[in-house]
Amino acid sequence: MQQFVNSVELDEDDEELATAEDLKQWLVSRDLLPRGARVTTADLRRALEVREGLRSVLAMHNGAVAAPEAAASLEAALEGCTLRARFAADGTPGLVPVRDDARAGLARLTAIVAAAATDGTWSRLKACADDGCRWAFYDHSKNRSGRWCSMKSCGNQHKARAFRERQRAPSAAQGRKARS
């Protein structure tokens, strides 16, 4: 799931899913789609809408205000990516796609999301709070307070900016005091 959302580096403009064939390879290599499936440009467009819709949801996990439009367009993009229940011979239940075209790949991703929501890991998957980054990361912190994909890059950048702003504020105040 994390890999899907991170199939583009927004800050580097590096898109892994540039063509329908890229999407096909991506899904096939992760056993989300059979090798013989046909993937069209419309499927690619749909997949990118799903990816960005999921990114909006992951931003909400990181404190972004709830965006009903984002949830609605994610749902619309998943139209036809239908799942049904299947029981193995030993009774083990699972959710499997109804269709076997490219939408099956997105349906399988949705099943992964549903499973993650059930086991409690979904809300720990977040989009980085840095506006230019928005990389998906798993928040391992005990109190679920993680905000940045990495303290090294985004977290420190933010800290440095906050520090500069704090530095600037008192000196401005001192300036006023000196004049009065």
Where along the sequence are the contacts to Zn ion (CB under 5 A)? Answer: 128, 130, 133, 135, 149, 154
**Shorter beta-carbon distance to Zn ion: residue 5 or 149:** 149
**109 touches 1 (CB < 8 A):** yes
Element (H, E) at 24: helix 20-29
Query: Could you give the CA distance from residue 166 to residue 3 in angstroms, rounded to a whole number?
Result: 37
Provide, rounded to whole angstroms, the least separation between the CB of residue 16 and Zn ion: 17
Provide, rounded to whole angstroms, the least separation between the CB of residue 4 and Zn ion: 17
Provide, rounded to whole angstroms, the least separation between the CB of residue 58 and Zn ion: 12
**Shorter beta-carbon distance to Zn ion: residue 44 or 128:** 128
Give residue 154's identity as a one-letter amino acid code.
Answer: C
Provide, rounded to whole angstroms, the least separation between the CB of residue 132 and Zn ion: 8
**Shorter beta-carbon distance to Zn ion: residue 33 or 133:** 133
DSSP assignment of 79-124, as one string? TT--EEEEE-TT--EEEEES--SHHHHHHHHHHHHHHHHHHT-GGG
Query: Could you give the CA distance from residue 168 to residue 172 in angstroms, rounded to a whole number?
Result: 6
**Shorter beta-carbon distance to Zn ion: residue 80 or 138:** 138
